[in-house]
């Protein structure tokens, strides 16, 4: 619950672990005394930037569904707790995307376009019992989905509800397959306001195939930065309802889910048709063949565009390295098999051939029910 | 524990459910009175053939790792409880394979070769505290694995321990890649005895590819009937340590695991090499491409040979139908996501996109530790 008061036990657990893992922060006892007093007096406490930074890294480390955790220490944490207005938040989200995706001016010298960095922007903590700023979007960059009169859909079917909600707020999309949705930023003072992302914040990759020329004619594309916008970050009992984060894409997220799922872009029949496959029976494995070619196209196109993306074999090997590292450090690695194992060629990856401990460790990211509703375009549910 | 005394509560639970689901068996109360008296007097009780038959079907229905459960009612249950000697057991196992695989003389008119039927042969129940007959093999048909001096392996690496144990008992294999292992049948009176399966019991399919002529040159083959031999069937508190069962193969078991796993036949590098794929980087998805072609070959070859096998798309759709059926019948379907979702193209199948209840319902099949040890060639472990 984002607006519950801070639990002093959780604050203490976090601070002890944070200071133990970071001896340079000094002894924890004096800090605990201050925090206890703050909580007693105000119901909450304020993280130092060091605490916030390490807490966000720990939340990533604890994300049991994430295969990409090997580089958890490298997370760039942007402390945006002072931002209040929707305009401020918007410009900091643009800065986040530019910084994460390269090319723009961030807080460090710009890197090459496409050299994706894992970044989180942490906005103001929720105050117990108070309304808070949030973003309705599920990710900072997503494509609109338009339900057609005939029953079909243009764009991403997953975004149909959200797109309709944006249209209800006055947004007009081009009605094409890859229209970037506006950001819906809600603040207690201003209500919800919509913002168009500028081109410089949205790096995209047009898709082509290393062998099949016709693939480019399909007019497919995908964005470079997957940035989840609606999960709550909880650190030491403090709730950060707006803390968008991004890594780089693992290719299967795009090629085996977003573009392939029957309730998303559903492209396998299209690709199979162009490949001339026999789709009269499942046993020709036409779906599997089309899937591999779609994923080859995704990887090839990102590579050619110089945009960082990893394949599921490489990312699985990294996760196994992460398991080893953490074991050496004496830490458990909570992991959810059903999310860690990639959605294609599961048994080809080393992560398939073992089990994992499932644990709800904090700091953590949670998707609240009302955040999920908002992202489906149902502002008043949940 | 196979030799524990019968739990009267479990007997009653089973009988009530069995008689409720089968009104034609009449009222359960008189039967319960008899069974209670039998257990009180002897520590056990004897199933009627109807009870045994329905109990085995329920055990299949409860097998949470099995995607093939739609046809659970069609299981053919062969009541072999009178067999005592290894010779008797062996000839009934041969009959099982012939009956399951078609072509041979079973208890019904022979069907066409390759028309695989789900069959279970139930041998004598364990008597509390007594040794019992068993088969050491993990499946009735498996291929030997020979560790080579240089460190490599000919045949199935998974069977290296078991193969060595068979050699220790005097068996000599041809030393080739697909040598069918002997059956190791152990009875209390005779100890362990080895039996060669006759050709008529082992239907095999040589593998070729619908497009690539070179595929047949690889000299690959696989057997038609997957028959698990070392799981204990438990029905109403009675333990059946020897109750081998079979279905037909789902293609991925052969093409995405047995022939593909790095610690099994490890054929993806071989297939990729013949396909001329670029194996210098993971991101060419050469593993995924080789995997699909290997699986196409498996399906194509079984189809051409007229041997029943299902692909993972079809079997997933059937499982979804099973979920619907069982829901209508008001029964829960225990299912283990990590086993139900096929090992390739997971997200292409409808079984991927949902969760399942995990429950340990009885009747059931269990793999005991000592049975697992025996199958690894470690007779005295566990
Ligand atoms: C660096 C590259 C990264 C890769 C390759 C990666 C990969 C993935 C993948 C494949 C998933 C599953 C997504 C799905 O199936 O919908 C996932 C989930 C997740 N990741 Fe990562 N990730 C990365 C970075 C991060 C970062 C920087 C964070 C947070 C700081 C993070 C936190 C999470 C969380 C919380 C989930 C679960 C999302 C949910 O429940 O919907 N990941 N990640
Ligand atoms: C009729 C066709 C059948 C199909 C297509 C089928 C399919 C499968 C598959 C794909 C698995 C996973 C195997 C693995 O990954 O190692 C499995 C496991 C299992 N099946 Fe079936 N099955 C069939 C029939 C049966 C029958 C007749 C029984 C018992 C009467 C049965 C009981 C089980 C059990 C107990 C497991 C778990 C085995 C273990 O724990 O290793 N299945 N099945």
Question: How many angstroms away from the CA of A38 is the closest CA of chain B?
Answer: 43
Residue A2: pLDDT band by 50, 70, 90 thresholds?
Answer: confident
Cα B228 to ligand 2 centre (Å): 8
Instruction: Output the average pLDDT for chain B.
Output: 95
For B287, the closest of A251, A288, A345 (CB atoms) is A345
pLDDT, tens digit, for every residue of A283-321?
A: 999 999 999 999 999 999 999 999 999 999 999 999 999
Q: CA–CA separation, A210 vs A292, rounded Å?
A: 12
pLDDT in tens, B187-206: 999 999 999 999 999 999 99
- The reply to whether omega before B363 is within 30° of 0 (cis) is yes
Contact across the interface for A311 and B285, Cβ inside 8 Å: yes
In Å, how far are A104, A175, B234, B252 from B37, measured between CA atoms? Answer: 83, 76, 20, 48
Q: What is the mean pLDDT of residues B155-159?
A: 98
CB contact under 8 A, A283 and B256: no
Q: Classify B354 as helix, strand or coil.
A: coil
Say what the pLDDT of residue A79 is: 98
Residue of B nearest to A251 (CA): B283
Is residue A106 very low, low, confident or very high in pLDDT (cuts 50, 70, 90)?
very low
Q: Are A365 and A231 in contact (CB under 8 A)?
A: yes
pLDDT band, residue B380 (cuts 50/70/90): low
A106-120, A156-170, A343-357: segment of lowest average pLDDT: A106-120
CB B224 within 8 A of CB B302: yes
pLDDT at A291: 98
Predicted confidence band of residue B19 (pLDDT cuts 50, 70, 90): very high
Does the beta carbon of A285 lie under 8 angstroms from any beta carbon of chain B?
Answer: yes
Q: In the prediction, which pLDDT does A102 show?
A: 61
Active site annotation includes A171: no
Report the distance separating Cα B48 and Cα B34, nearest Å: 12
CA distance B282 to A303: 13
Q: Residue B359's CB: how many other CB atoms inside 10 A? A: 11
Percent of chain A with pLDDT over 70: 96
Query: How high is the mean pLDDT of chain A?
Result: 95
Q: Is the pLDDT confidence value at B113 over 80?
A: no
Question: For the segment B346-369, what is each residue's pLDDT rounded down to a tens digit?
Answer: 999 999 999 999 999 999 999 999
Work out the percent of chain B whose per-residue pLDDT is above 90.
Answer: 93
The helix (H) or strand (E) run that includes residue A123 is strand A119-123
The answer to whether A268 and A292 have CB atoms below 8 angstroms apart is no
B-chain residues within 8 Å CB-CB of A353? 261
DSSP characters over B32-46? HHHHHHHHHHHS---
User: Could you tell me the distance, in angstroms and rounded to a whole number, from the CA of residue A78 to the centre of ligand 1?
Assistant: 18
Task: Tell whether the model's pLDDT for residue B114 goes beyond 90.
Answer: no
Q: Does A316 touch chain B (CB under 8 A)?
A: no
Whether residue B338 and residue A343 make contact (CB cut-off 8 A), yes or no, is: no
Distances in whole angstroms, Cα of residue B176 to Cα of each of B155, B194, B208, B301? 6, 19, 19, 21
Summarised one tens digit per residue, pLDDT across range A152-178 is 999 999 999 999 999 999 999 999 999
Residue A313 forms contact with B (CB below 8 Å): yes
- Residue of A54, A58, A59, A65 best suited for mutating to test ligand 1, as the one with most atoms within 8 Å of CB: A65
Distances (CA, A) of B377 to B87, B138, B195, B241, B382: 22, 10, 16, 18, 12
Ligand 1 atom with least separation from CA of A252: 10
Residue of chain B nearest A287, judged by CA positions: B348
Which of A265, A275, A283, A358 should we substitute to test contact with B (largest number of B Cβ atoms within 10 Å)? A283
Contact A345 B348 (CB under 8 A): no
User: B71 CB less than 6 Å from ligand 2?
Assistant: yes
What would the mean pLDDT of B329-334 be, rounded to a whole number? Answer: 97
* Burial call A119-147: b when 16+ CB within 10 Å, e when fewer: bbbbbbbbbeeeebbbbbbbbbbbbbbbe
Q: Is B247 in the pocket of ligand 2 (CB under 6 A)?
A: yes
pLDDT at B105: 42
SS3 call for B250:
strand
Residues above pLDDT 90, as percent of chain A: 93
CB pairs under 8 A between A and B: 99
Contact B39, B166 (CB under 8 A): no
Alpha-carbon distance values, A166 to A131, A160, B59, B348 (Å):
22, 10, 52, 31
Of the two residues A107 and A37, the one the predictor is more confident about is A37
Which of B283, B288, B296 lies nearest to residue A348, judging by beta carbons?
Answer: B288
Chain segment A22-63, per-residue pLDDT in tens: 999 999 999 999 999 999 999 999 999 999 999 999 999 999
């Amino acid at each position: 619950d984002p607006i519950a008061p801070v639990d002093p036990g959780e604050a203490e657990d976090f601070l002890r672990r944070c200071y133990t893992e970071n001896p340079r922060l000094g002894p924890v006892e004096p800090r605990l005394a201050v925090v206890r007093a703050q909580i007693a007096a105000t119901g909450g406490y304020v993280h130092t930037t060091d605490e916030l930074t390490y807490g966000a890294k720990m939340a990533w480390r604890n994300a049991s569904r994430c295969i990409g955790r090997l580089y958890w220490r490298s997370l760039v944490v942007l402390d945006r707790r002072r931002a209040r207005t929707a305009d401020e938040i918007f410009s900091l989200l643009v800065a986040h995307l530019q910084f994460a995706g390269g090319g723009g001016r961030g807080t460090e010298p710009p890197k090459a376009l496409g050299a994706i960095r894992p970044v989180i922007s942490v906005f103001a903590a929720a105050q117990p019992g108070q309304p808070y700023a949030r973003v309705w979007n599920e990710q900072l960059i997503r494509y609109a989905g338009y339900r057609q009169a005939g029953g079909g859909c243009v764009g991403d079917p997953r975004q149909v509800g959200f797109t309709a909600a944006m249209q209800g707020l006055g947004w007009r999309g081009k009605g094409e397959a890859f229209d970037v949705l506006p950001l819906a930023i809600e603040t207690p003072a201003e209500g919800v306001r919509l913002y168009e992302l500028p081109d410089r914040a949205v790096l995209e990759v047009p898709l082509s195939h290393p062998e099949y020329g016709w693939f480019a004619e399909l007019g497919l594309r995908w964005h470079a930065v997957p940035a989840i916008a609606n999960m709550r970050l909880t650190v030491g009992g403090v709730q950060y309802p707006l803390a968008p984060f991004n890594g780089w894409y693992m290719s299967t997220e795009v090629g085996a889910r977003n573009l392939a799922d029957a309730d998303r872009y559903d492209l396998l029949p299209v690709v199979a048709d162009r490949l001339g496959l026999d789709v009269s029976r499942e046993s020709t494995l036409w779906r599997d063949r089309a899937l591999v070619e779609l994923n080859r196209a995704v990887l090839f196109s990102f590579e050619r565009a110089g945009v960082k993306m990893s394949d599921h074999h490489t990312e699985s090997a990294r996760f196994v390295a992460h398991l080893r590292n953490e074991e050496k450090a004496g830490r458990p690695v909570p992991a959810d098999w059903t999310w860690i194992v990639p959605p294609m060629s599961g048994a080809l990856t080393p992560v398939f051939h073992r089990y994992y401990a499932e644990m709800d460790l904090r700091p953590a990211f949670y998707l609240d029910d009302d955040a999920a509703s908002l992202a489906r375009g149902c502002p008043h549910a949940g």
